[in-house]
Amino acid sequence: MNIGLIDYGRGNLHSVDKALELLGANVELVADGDRFAAQDALVLPGVGAFGDAMRNLAERGLVEPIRAWVRAGKPFLGICLGYQLLFDESDESPNVSGLGLVRGRVVKFPPAVGKIPHMGWNNVTVSDAGRALFAPVSGEYFYHVHSYFPQPADISLAACWTEYEGVRFASGIVSGRLAAFQFHPEKSQANGLRLLGNFLRAN
């Protein structure tokens, strides 16, 4: 598969690139929407702040091409901040609109949570919506690093759940050929590679 790894100055590109190449994908860094047509699937990674990321996407003219790609039902994978950017808005950056491809908002862990960010390995519980992407994994550990998490308006989209300090959140979603995860599959060793491989085979 030809995979377009979206380069907008906010992604952990190297690790994602290497993981996808290990699975046999032909990966191209794309910073121009005109290159999307040459790809079989797109991957939106990301680290950093919601507002900065949206500004970078806008400055590079990538917002509308991404929206058009997803709305056309083409394969798309969001990772970490790339998951959060799919939503309408984030408490991290008030008055900054997200991509608006998934209804809902991104919220911060409440003050009662002892340690923020949520960092390290944590158990992921797979829902019915996520069975095909995770198979045969069902309730394994993946690597998380984040202080905010999305709250999808439609809970049926949740592919998996993670609990941290009493807060249970949707750590992944699936909607048609769109999949996105709060944790980092590319840093999650065998389980992460299996998840990425299942995404590639499904598309």
For the annotated catalytic residues, the residue numbers are 80, 184, 186
Rounded Cα gap, residues 154 and 125, in angstroms: 18
Give CA angle at 127 (153, 100), nearest 5°: 30
Is 169 within 8 Å of 106 (Cβ atoms)? no
C-alpha of 51 from chain center: 16
Is 198 within 8 Å of 134 (Cβ atoms)? yes
Rounded Cα gap, residues 160 and 128, in angstroms: 8
Rounded Cα gap, residues 157 and 100, in angstroms: 15
Rounded Cα gap, residues 87 and 98, in angstroms: 6
